[in-house]
C-alpha cells in the first residue's frame, strides 16, 4: 500500500527474510571457498572468490526465477515471494563482486584500459568454443544493475507499470546470457558432468515450472463467449467465500470476488507490481493482493484512504443462478452496485 510510493515498510518478517537470505549466502560461500582451498592448495584466493561469488549469484538467480511460478502453483510459497526484491538486489551485488574481481584479475594492471580490454581482448564472435563469454556476463550485469537500480517502488510509479514490467522481464534475457556466459566460459575448461549437469537441471527446472504455471493460467484464459455485451462466469457457489476466480473477458483478466452474498468484479491486475488479485482474499472487506498485500475495496476498486491506487471495476449481474460480467470495464475507481446472491454462503 502506498502513499506516494512509501510502499512496503520494514517489519519483523522482512528482517527474518533478509537474515536467512544472508545466512544462506554466507554458508554457501564458506562451503565453496573452504572446500576449494582445502582440496586445491595451489589455487589462488582470487580464483576461489571469483568462482564462489559467480556461482552464488547464479544459484540465487535460479531461486528468484523459481519462487514466482512456485507461488502460483502453491500459494504457500507466497511468503518467499514477498521480499523477492531483496533477493534480486543481493544477487546483483554478488554478481557485481564476481564481475569486478574478474575485471581486476583478468584485465586490470595491463597495457589497456580494463573496460576496453573486457570488450576487445577476445573478439572471436564467429566461433562457438572461442566465443567471447566475458562480454555476455557484462551485458547481463548491466541488465541486473538496471533492475536493481529501479527496483524501488519510486521507479515503478515514475516509469509507469508497463515500462517497469518490461524492464524487469529483462531478467529472462539476462538469465539466458548468464547461462551462455558459463557454458561458453568456464565449462569449456572444466568439463566435468558434475558441473554441467546441475546447470542443465537448473535450467530445466526453471523452464518447466514456468511452462506449468503458464499453462494453468492459460486454462483460465479461455475466453467466455459474449452475449449482448455480457459474459457468463460461473455460478456463485463455485467461488469460496471471500475468494475470487479469474476469467478472461475481451482479452483482459477479470477477478470476480464473493463476499458472503455480494458478488463484485475488478481488474485482476494489482497496481503495485501487476500481482494477480484474483488469487488474493477479501480481508477486512478489502481485496488483498497475494504478492505484497495492497488492498482495494471490491465495490469501487479504490485503495482505502490515505492510499490512492485505483483499479477498473466491472458491472455484475446474477441471471438464472449464474454470474454475468459486463465485458467493458468501467474507469478505474468507479463505484458499482454489487450483485446480490440469494443462496447459502
From residue 128 to residue 157, the character string flagging contacts with ligand HEM as x (rule: CB under 6 A) and all else as - is: ------x--xx-xx--x-------------
Torsion sign over Cα 67, 72, 74, 79: positive
**List 281, 286, 307, 334, residue binding another protein (CB under 8 A):** 281
- Taking alpha carbons only, the member of 67, 40, 58, 83 closest to residue 292 is 83
Residues 128 and 126: their CA atoms lie apart, in Å, by 7
Region of 181-189, 209-217, 248-256, 311-319 interacting with another protein (CB under 8 A): 181-189
Place of cell 515500462: 163
In the set 8, 96, 161, 180, which binds another protein (CB under 8 A)?
8
Q: Among ligand HEM, another protein, ligand FES, none, what does residue 288 contact (CB within 5–8 Å per kind)?
A: another protein
Q: Could you identify the residue written with the cell 568439463?
A: 191
Q: Which stretch binds another protein (CB under 8 A): 184-192, 205-213, 220-228, 251-259?
A: 184-192
> Which triple of cell numbers denotes residue 233?
462466469
Question: C-alpha cell of 124?
Answer: 572471436
User: How many chain residues are in contact with ligand HEM, going by CB under 6 A?
Assistant: 26
- Whole-angstrom CA distances from 65 to 52, 103, 178, 203 are 20, 27, 13, 10
Give the residue closest to ligand HEM by C-beta.
137
Out of ligand FES, another protein, ligand HEM, none, which partner does residue 9 contact, by CB within 5 to 8 A per kind? another protein
285 Ramachandran zone, left/alpha/beta (phi>0; psi -120 to 50): left
Among 178, 183, 269, 325, binds ligand HEM (CB under 6 A): 178
How many other C-beta atoms lie within 10 A of the C-beta of residue 92? 23
Q: Within a 10 A sphere around the Cβ of 250, how many other Cβ atoms?
A: 13
Q: Does 68 bind another protein (CB under 8 A)?
A: no
- In the complex, the residues that contact ligand HEM under the rule CB under 6 A are 47, 50-51, 54-55, 57-58, 61, 95, 98-99, 102-103, 106, 118, 134, 137-138, 140-141, 144, 178, 181-182, 185-186
Amino acid at each position: 500500500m502506498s502513499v506516494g510510493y512509501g510502499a512496503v515498510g520494514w517489519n519483523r518478517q522482512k528482517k527474518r527474510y533478509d537474515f536467512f537470505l544472508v545466512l544462506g549466502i554466507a554458508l554457501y560461500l564458506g562451503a565453496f571457498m573452504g572446500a576449494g582451498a582445502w582440496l586445491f592448495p595451489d589455487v589462488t584466493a582470487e580464483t576461489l572468490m571469483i568462482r564462489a561469488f559467480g556461482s552464488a549469484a547464479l544459484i540465487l538467480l535460479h531461486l528468484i526465477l523459481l519462487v514466482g511460478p512456485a507461488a502460483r502453483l502453491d500459494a504457500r510459497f507466497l511468503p518467499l515471494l514477498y521480499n523477492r526484491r531483496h533477493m534480486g538486489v543481493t544477487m546483483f551485488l554478488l554478481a557485481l563482486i564476481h564481475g569486478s574481481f574478474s575485471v581486476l584479475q583478468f584485465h586490470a594492471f595491463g597495457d589497456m584500459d580494463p573496460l576496453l580490454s573486457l570488450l576487445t581482448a577476445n573478439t572471436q564472435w564467429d566461433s562457438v568454443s572461442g566465443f567471447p563469454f566475458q562480454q555476455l556476463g557484462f551485458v547481463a550485469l548491466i541488465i541486473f544493475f538496471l533492475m536493481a537500480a529501479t527496483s524501488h517502488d519510486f521507479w515503478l510509479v515514475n516509469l509507469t507499470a508497463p515500462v517497469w514490467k518490461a524492464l524487469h522481464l529483462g531478467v529472462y534475457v539476462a538469465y539466458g546470457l548468464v547461462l551462455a556466459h558459463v557454458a561458453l566460459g568456464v565449462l569449456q575448461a572444466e568439463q566435468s558432468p558434475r558441473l554441467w549437469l546441475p546447470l542443465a537441471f537448473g535450467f530445466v527446472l526453471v523452464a518447466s515450472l514456468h511452462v506449468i504455471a503458464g499453462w494453468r493460467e492459460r486454462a483460465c484464459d479461455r475466453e467466455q463467449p459474449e452475449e449482448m455485451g455480457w459474459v457468463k462466469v460461473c455460478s456463485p457457489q463455485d467461488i469460496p467465500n471471500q475468494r475470487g476466480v479469474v476469467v478472461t473477458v475481451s482479452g483482459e483478466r477479470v477477478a470476480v470476488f464473493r463476499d458472503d452474498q455480494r458478488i463484485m468484479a475488478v481488474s485482476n491486475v494489482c497496481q503495485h507490481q501487476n500481482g494477480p488479485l484474483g488469487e488474493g482474499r477479501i480481508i477486512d472487506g478489502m481485496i488483498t493482493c497475494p504478492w505484497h498485500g495492497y488492498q482495494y475495496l471490491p465495490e469501487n476498486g479504490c485503495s482505502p484512504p490515505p492510499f490512492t491506487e485505483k483499479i477498473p471495476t466491472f458491472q455484475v449481474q446474477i441471471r438464472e443462478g449464474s454470474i454475468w460480467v459486463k465485458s467493458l470495464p468501467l474507469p478505474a475507481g468507479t463505484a458499482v452496485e454489487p450483485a446480490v446472491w440469494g443462496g447459502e454462503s
